Structure 1
């Protein structure tokens, strides 16, 4: 197989202070889930739950079964933590 038989994609996972970007080549027909598994990102970030993934491509929400295209940037989303202070501040806002 030549390089033309593969797609170049990125798998990205961002935390508060750091971002992990893994570049890899996948075969056409590869899904988001398969690319994430193939990237090995879970070994660096064991908190990633492959059973309950929230993922997207270029900030557009997708399912893990979505097939990738050449140049796609797979983004693994995580739950955002909201502090009590932020929750209280937001609940105090009143529209006039």
Structure 2
């Protein structure tokens, strides 16, 4: 997981039938990010190598998978592009 000013990686060895959700729980992210509420980690989206998992609680990890935890966006990327374009035009 990464925050704007902090990133944490956790290397885990898990059983062959472990789900993405279970792996994140085993990584104990709340202890790595004590400034965030522990309940937040149960709500965040998960992905494997940049692809969001629709059902992380059912996705069985495969050897070498990198589980990613996605924090909520602060601003929609389309809105950010519009703001940058407006600033560059001088408006």
Fold conserved between structures, TM > 0.5? yes
Structure 1 residue 82 displacement after superposition:
2.2
**CA shift in 2, pair 1:81/1:16, >3 Å:** same
Aligned to 1:28: 16
Gaps of 5+ in 2: 87-91
Contact 2:29/2:41 (CA < 8 Å) preserved in 1? no
**CA shift in 2, pair 1:51/1:18, >3 Å:** closer
TM-score for the superposition, normalised by structure 2: 0.71
SS of the residue 2:42 aligns to: helix
Q: Does residue 22 of structure 2 align to residue 37 of structure 1?
A: no
Gaps of 5+ in 1: 1-12
TM-score for the superposition, normalised by structure 1: 0.67
SS of the residue 2:10 aligns to: strand
Aligned to 1:64: 56
After the TM superposition, which parts of structure 1 deviate over 6 Å for at least 4 consecutive aligned residues? none
Structure 1 residue 89 displacement after superposition:
2.2
Contact 1:53/1:64 (CA < 8 Å) preserved in 2? no
